[in-house]
Structure 1
């Protein structure tokens, strides 16, 4: 059982593309709630949110989703989805490549405060509020 003093830290880089674009039909309501939730989550001390804008070009947006799990007393591992489902990778070379991709994404991403402002603006446009 974990005994940490607080919640786990999260650093998120999301493409301005499909995750932030409007969705039709029933998905629209859920999408609007998600857009409203992101800035709220980013206000907490343990969440960093950055958007990789369209202007970053294709190279920054060609990375498949992945999660790096870092631990105090264990090596970092990589979780990634593939056509067969999700997998954990603990090979140092796989983790290093993902870390390099993550740093490249962060270098192309907007600053956290700019990212939150963009998401809030998109939410207003999307919900007409």
Structure 2
């Protein structure tokens, strides 16, 4: 299993090959249309060679691929700084490692994310002070300026939940996430309140896996499954480690982790019971309210 860039090259090559075949072109014909040697097209399609976003656009034009969402997603897989245009995270390129920029790029393009978290609240649902406390704990010794910049990045990522249409986010949280005292009691309480509010959004599904569930497949560690519009061939699983991220895109890996998430969701509390559990752990009561409709881009502050 290889890390992000190699996975992205293979997935990009696979998608470009499928689009070429759909267009009824041989690799040689595609090469002639864009003025390349046939061997360059072959290296790109097999993932042996990287490719600039501008070259990907040439190929997409040659294949007469018009779908703007699909074009943006395929170009983004090139992984370059100018992929698909300037994005907000490019302003932090000197601070963020390539694997994190890859993660944000995938997150911004995904239509659905399923994630298991066993230690901390997912970044998309963190409050600023909770995010600050987590960052300080993980990156001990980093300057306050860098910590604040990383917190800004984490909060900016949350805009996907306010897009139109919004990202569909499904989260299974181990009970330990709710009980871990990150940043002190006040920070934890406000984070729990934020989770409860997020749980009422129609496109956010939060389920708690209580300690009473006993041993489960999620004990092997947290993971994220990205799903994309138009094609499942671009779906990918991300496993985070201390110094790097592991990207899995083989169909058998995707099935294994998707099945694992479904099994965890089945054993976890329902979203309604999970909301009750969160309020119970927080030690306060609240009146249930209907799950809120997604916030459109126009309505977002």
- For the aligned pair, the TM-score class normalised by the smaller chain equals 0.7 to 0.9
Q: Which has the higher contact order (CA 8 A, sep 6+)?
A: 1
Aligned to 2:32: none
Structure 2 unmatched ranges of 5 or more? 1-71, 73-108, 110-162, 285-301
What is the CA–CA distance in structure 1 between the aligned matches of 2:200 and 2:187, rounded to whole Å? Answer: 21
The SS at the match of 1:14 is: strand
The SS at the match of 1:20 is: helix
Matched, 1:32 2:189: yes
Which residue, 194, 204, 207 being the options, matches 1:47?
A: 204
Structure 1 unmatched ranges of 5 or more? none
Q: Can you list the C-alpha shifts for 1:51-86, whole angstroms capped at 9, x where unaligned?
A: 011111112551411111111223221111134422
Give the TM-score of the pair, scaled to structure 2: 0.38
Matched, 1:82 2:229: no
Which has more radius of gyration? Answer: 2
Aligned length: 122
Which structure shows the bigger proportion of residues in helix conformation? 2
RMSD: 2.0
1:122 to 1:30, Cα distance in 2 relative to 1, 3 A: same
Which structure shows the bigger proportion of residues in strand conformation? 1
What is the CA–CA distance in structure 2 between the aligned matches of 1:63 and 1:73, rounded to whole Å? Answer: 31
Contact 2:226 2:237 in 1 (8 A): yes
Give the TM-score of the pair, scaled to structure 1: 0.83
Aligned to 1:65: 222
What is the CA–CA distance in structure 1 between the aligned matches of 2:223 and 2:194, rounded to whole Å? Answer: 21
The SS at the match of 2:171 is: strand
Which residue, 181, 188, 195 being the options, matches 1:23?
A: 181
Contact 1:22 1:28 in 2 (8 A): no
What is the CA–CA distance in structure 2 between the aligned matches of 1:71 and 1:101, rounded to whole Å? Answer: 19
